[in-house]
Structure formats: C-alpha cells, structure tokens
Structure 1
C-alpha cells in the first residue's frame, strides 16, 4: 500500500510540474476564468489535459522519439504554435479592452479548443514528455525527497493515475483562486487579461524565433 501511495504522490508531483509553471496554457486558463467564470477556466484546463492524454498515448507508441530527432518537424510545430499564440494574444488584448469598458461577459467559451490546439503544437510539451514524462512509462524507481528519500516504482498504473490527478487538481484550483480574487479586487479582470495577452505574445514571438533558428 505504501508503495502504491508513494507512486500516486510522485505522479501528482509530476503532473503539477507540467501544469503549474507560468506559460501560454495557464495564460488562457486565467483569461477564461476571469472573463467567463470558473467553469470556463476549468474547461480550458481540460483542453490542455486532453492534449497530455494524447501525448501519453503517442509516447507509449514511441512517436515522441521521432519528433525529437526530426528538426524540421519541431520547427514546424514551433512556427504553428507561435502563430496560434500571437492570434490568441490579439484575442486576449481585445478582451482587455472589453473588460475595461465594462461590457457583459461573453458566455461562449473557446478555451478548451484553444488550449487543446496550442498544447498539441507546443514542442516544449513534447520535450517534457521526452524527459520528465518518460518517468511515467519506464520501469524503474523514482526518489521522492518530500517523503524522506522514499523510492517508488515507475512504469506503473499508480504513477500515471497520480499524474493526471495532479493536473486535475491544478486546473480545478487555479481557476477557483482567480475567480474568487476577481470578486475582491477591483481591476483584477483587465489586469489578468492584459497579462494573458503579454504572455501569449511573448511566447509566440519566442516560438517563431526558435522555429527560424532550427531551419
């Protein structure tokens, strides 16, 4: 039982290591949360989580190893991802203007489709699966420092379950924190929307630069 619980905890930590860092996916989740509510932010998180489920399947099939070796494929993914981020940045900037003038919130959320498309074209997401993510699949052991250097078995169903539980915890809690803060802080919504636009634009330009560098 201890080994199973340790593997689940290790999986949760791995899931959080992918979901929690600031980046374009969390920018869209934040934008959806403050503009359209918790459920829209959660659905945006589900889009990114669904993409991770796809990456998990292709990692099992060994496809990610092909992507790692094909620079042209990675460059193409970066270019498409960069263009998508710039497009979404313009949308976020438009939302900033609407929130400032106090227009009603648009109930129609496209967060799921945006994060799903963005995650599938995100080479850094693939890189994560080629490095940290392989821990989920390869039989072996993983040290968990927070458990006094306990080592847990990898390549098991328990660590995979824990991984997706970790992502699920993040996409549930992150939008909840943002929506509650939005009710208490004046000007929170336009600030988050503006930050989302800047983050997406910055990553979009970075991806396009990296794509040109790989070609």
Structure 2
C-alpha cells in the first residue's frame, strides 16, 4: 500500500509542476476538458518512453554515480519548487492535442532531467512495482487538472502552485537524504 501511495505522489510530482505542458493543458482545458487531457496524454506517453529507457539502461550507470544523480535530482526538485514561487500563469493560446503533448514531453528539458535523476531513483528504489501507481498519479493529474480548469478557470492556479511546491520539496528532501546516506 505504501508503494502505491508513494507512486501516486511521485507521478503527481512529475505531472503537476507548472511548465509549458501544463500551460497548454490549461489553455486547451478552457476550450474543453478533453482537449486538455489529450495534451496530458501525449506528455504521459513521452514519460512512458523515458521510463522504458531508464528501466533498461539503469544498470549501465555505476552504483557510486547513481547517488550523485539522486543528490542532483533532490536539488533540482527543490529548485523547481522555488521556481514555482516565482512563476506567473501563462496566457499562451496554442492549439493543443495528443501529438503536441508528446512532442513537448519528448523535448522538455524538465522531463528529460526528471527521468535521469528522479526517475532513476524511483526505478532503483521501488523497481517496477511502483510503475502502475506512478502512471496512475499522472492520469489523476491529466484528468482532474483540465476538469478543474474547465470548471473554474485560472482561479485554481495558486492552489496548483502550493500543492506543487509541497510535493516537490518533500520528494526533493527524501532524495537528498537517500543520496547523502550512501556518501556519508
């Protein structure tokens, strides 16, 4: 049960932070919740591709280097939380769909870095058992976020920021502790 809960929160830590994908999801959700979810589904497909790469190539990385990735990932998560406090809502009006989400996800530096650090940590610490709940967390986000945005519009943005900051800082601290534990 703990692995499932952790997986959902890690999935949310991947999907929830404000960024280009969520900006397009929000803009498309103002048109229709399905338009917003289609963008999120495309980005989630990119995450599945990155998961496969991470899972099958993780044993190539030397063990002592992995913990430095954990430390870097923990610092990245905390930095992203800080960046969220400075971010402003996007007012882009770009047509979004599944392919847009996929292309943005595949080329998004945040997602690539996330999988090299946090994703590697997740797969090494919890193995494949966490993957269903991880993607469950992403699905919760890509369904609920467009639904809420569609219903109440941009007023929801501050709550998203607060939730994102809490999840990112919490998981960042957890990664830092694990990374430093082996080095000390």
Same fold (TM over 0.5): yes
The equivalent residue for 1:43 is: 38
Task: Kindly indicate whether residue 145 of structure 2 is the aligned counterpart of residue 174 of structure 1.
Answer: yes
Give the distance between the partners of 2:37 and 2:14, measured in 1 at CA: 16
Give the distance between the partners of 2:50 and 2:128, measured in 1 at CA: 17
Question: Which structure shows the bigger proportion of residues in helix conformation?
Answer: 2
Q: Which runs of 4+ in 1 moved over 2 A?
A: none
Unmatched segments (≥5 aa) in structure 1: 67-88, 96-108, 141-153, 183-187, 193-215
Unmatched segments (≥5 aa) in structure 2: 62-89, 158-184
Structure 1 residue 110: Cα displacement: 4.1
Contact 1:135 1:155 in 2 (8 A): no
Contact 1:28 1:111 in 2 (8 A): no
Q: Secondary structure at the match of 1:173?
A: helix
**C-alpha RMSD of matched pairs (Å):** 2.6
Alignment: residue pair count: 127
User: How big is each residue's C-alpha offset from its partner over 1:21-70, in whole Å with a ceiling of 9 and x where there is no partner?
Assistant: 100010010011102x111111111011111001011112328x89xxxx
The equivalences for 1:62-141 within 5 A come to 62=57, 92-93=92-93, 110-138=96-124, 140=125
The equivalent residue for 2:75 is: none
Give the distance between the partners of 2:110 and 2:21, measured in 1 at CA: 12
The equivalences for 1:140-159 within 5 A come to 140=125, 154-157=126-129, 159=130
Give the distance between the partners of 2:10 and 2:42, measured in 1 at CA: 18
Question: Which structure shows the bigger proportion of residues in strand conformation?
Answer: 1
Give the distance between the partners of 2:41 and 2:133, measured in 1 at CA: 16
Structure 1 residue 136: Cα displacement: 2.7
Q: Secondary structure at the match of 2:17?
A: coil
Give the TM-score of the pair, scaled to structure 2. 0.62
Larger Rg, first or second structure (1 or 2): 1
Residues 110 and 26 of structure 1: CA distance in aligned 2, closer, same or farther (over 3 Å): closer
